[in-house]
Amino acid sequence: MSTVLITGANRGIGLELVKCYAARGDTVLACCRDPRAAGELTALPGAVETFALDVADAASVAALAEALGGRPVDILINNAGTLGPEYARQTAYEMDFDGWRQAFEVNTMGPVRMLHALVGNLRASAAPRLVTITSQMGALSLDMTLGFAYSATKAALNKFMKLAAIELGKEGINVCVIHPGWVQTDMGGAEADITPQESARGIVGTIDKLDAATNGSFWKWNGEPHDW
């Protein structure tokens, strides 16, 4: 059984990931900004422990690390994310810079803060994995001309994790980024291609493939490789 830490665990893809791992019998450290408002999460059966965490707030991340102490974390899933400004305010001609800055804090720096704060917990695992939920919109190989700010946050995230895989892989921490599909969540909208359940099930199966041989992968939720 593994110990799996998930950010943004109160709704959307994060909540479904919690359900998948808890149903397998794993211990889930489910992190969200406001656990008191996370009724569905806190009512879940299984070994689900809830922690308060704002990934954009260094003090909040440090408090989580303090609460965990030296506890091993086998899989750290950076899932929390934001689209940033409304699409009309993140184009080639318009930019809400404050909104873009905040999206960088959550989407790009948040996962890095989490890695730095919890690398000791990963090192305490026999088979540590660092997984980050990215987006196809951050792939340099795909030109979707919407969400310029969001896409840039995910592109920067991808580059960081691609490099981090090289360094962390040397000490046995395997790293990947996963595009979850276009998913029916608050972010993806009702018209999206797949349900959060389909996405989460696929992501869990894909994470199972992460080892030294696949370290540094960019995958789709269904385990297919994604071009960088």
Q: Can you give the binding site for ligand NAP, defined by CB under 6 A?
A: 7-8, 10-14, 32-33, 53-56, 79-82, 106, 133, 135, 179-180, 182-183, 185-188, 192
Q: Which is nearer to ligand NAP, 128 or 188 (CB)?
A: 188
How far apart are alpha carbons 100 and 86 in whole angstroms? 10
Q: Which is nearer to ligand NAP, 54 or 74 (CB)?
A: 54
Q: Taking the complex as a whole, how short is the minimal distance between the CB of residue 199 and ligand NAP, in angstroms? A: 8
Q: Taking the complex as a whole, how short is the minimal distance between the CB of residue 58 and ligand NAP, in angstroms? A: 12
Q: Taking the complex as a whole, how short is the minimal distance between the CB of residue 190 and ligand NAP, in angstroms? A: 11
DSSP string for the chain? --EEEEESTTSHHHHHHHHHHHHHT-EEEEEES-GGG-HHHHT--SSEEEEE--TT-HHHHHHHHHHHTT---SEEEE------S-GGGBSSS-B-HHHHHHHIIIIIIHHHHHHHHHHHHHHTSSS-EEEEE--GGG-TT----S-HHHHHHHHHHHHHHHHHHHHHHTTT-EEEEEE--SBSSTTT-TTSSB-HHHHHHHHHHHHTT-STTTTTEEEETTS-B---
Q: Which is nearer to ligand NAP, 123 or 220 (CB)?
A: 220
Q: Taking the complex as a whole, how short is the minimal distance between the CB of residue 227 and ligand NAP, in angstroms? A: 15
Q: Which is nearer to ligand NAP, 172 or 223 (CB)?
A: 223
Q: Which is nearer to ligand NAP, 126 or 190 (CB)?
A: 190
Q: Taking the complex as a whole, how short is the minimal distance between the CB of residue 62 and ligand NAP, in angstroms? A: 14
